[in-house]
Chains A and B, each alone.
Chain A
Amino acid sequence: EPEVTQTPSHQVTQMGQEVILRCVPISNHLYFYWYRQILGQKVEFLVSFYNNEISEKSEIFDDQFSVERPDGSNFTLKIRSTKLEDSAMYFCASRDLDLSTGELFFGEGSRLTVL
């Protein structure tokens, strides 16, 4: 069964450092997403990406965040200068062309710990 894969599974970084989280969405999917979940809190939308550009983003997704699809398979989330409050589980998700079903397929997540 095709799946969304994410790396790393866990990253520990110092405040102020840059972090890149990587995702390989399901191959025939066209819509890509990043969500985050702070421990014990809800799953929060960060950004959606379609046709090689950001389609929507939340207020959380400020100038410190960026996304890229550099090579047609990977989908990355970069945090330029991490803050303590960026510590969370980051989930990548993808969806196919059929928007009517709307099912998001999630990766297992990348846990980011900022010290």
Chain B
Amino acid sequence: RKEVEQDPGPFNVPEGATVAFNCTYSNSASQSFFWYRQDCRKEPKLLMSVYSSGNEDGRFTAQLNRASQYISLLIRDSKLSDSATYLCVVKKGGGFKTIFGAGTRLFVKA
């Protein structure tokens, strides 16, 4: 089983749509979770951290389910500028290694 698994997509949605991405991780010792965004041929950039109680940042909502080892990202009111690859990222507690999922491609169309 892959350490971090994501649906590669692509997700093609119209502007204004709500879209959700899921991610599962295999290591139950994982303690820190993040969503990063990567534009084509650019470096990954942090979108948001994921907290146990769930958290929201504007149009973005992240959820964590430790029992199911599952993380989600919800994007409301999609903008053209949201088109990117969304990377699920997991860090094991007490370690240094941060593992990236393969990413989910999102295309938002006018």
Q: A: which residues have CB within 8 A of B?
A: 31, 33, 35, 41-45, 48, 50, 55-56, 58, 89, 91, 99-104, 106-109
**In whole angstroms, how far apart are the Cα atoms of A42 and B99 in the complex?**
10
- A102-B49 in contact (CB<8A): yes
**In whole angstroms, how far apart are the Cα atoms of A44 and B102 in the complex?**
9
- B96-A50 in contact (CB<8A): yes
Name the residue in B41, B87, B98, B99 with the highest tally of chain A Cβ atoms < 10 Å from its Cβ: B98
Known: A55-B96, A56-B97. A41 touches B44 (CB 8 A): no
- A42-B102 in contact (CB<8A): yes
Q: What residues of chain A lie closer than 8 Å to B49, measured between beta carbons?
A: 101-103
**Contacting residues of chain B (53-110) with chain A, CB-CB under 8 angstroms:** 87, 91, 95-103
B34 interface contact, C-beta 8 A: yes
Using C-beta atoms within 8 Å of the partner chain, give the interface range for chain B.
20 to 34
Q: What residues of chain A lie closer than 8 Å to B32, measured between beta carbons?
A: 99-100, 102
B20 interface contact, C-beta 8 A: no
Identify the closest chain A residue to B101 (Cβ).
Answer: A42
Q: B: which residues have CB within 8 A of A?
A: 32, 34, 38, 41-46, 49, 87, 91, 95-103
Q: What residues of chain B lie closer than 8 Å to A55, measured between beta carbons?
A: 96
Contacting A33 at CB < 8 Å: which of B41, B98, B102?
Answer: B98
Q: What residues of chain A lie closer than 8 Å to B34, measured between beta carbons?
A: 102-103
- B91-A102 in contact (CB<8A): yes
CB distance from B87 to the nearest CB of A (A): 7
CB distance from B15 to the nearest CB of A (A): 27
27 contacts between A and B (CB under 8 A): A31-B96, A42-B101, A42-B102, A42-B103, A43-B38, A43-B87, A44-B100, A45-B99, A48-B96, A48-B97, A50-B96, A55-B96, A56-B95, A56-B96, A56-B97, A58-B97, A89-B41, A91-B44, A101-B49, A102-B49, A102-B91, A102-B98, A104-B98, A106-B43, A106-B44, A106-B45, A108-B43
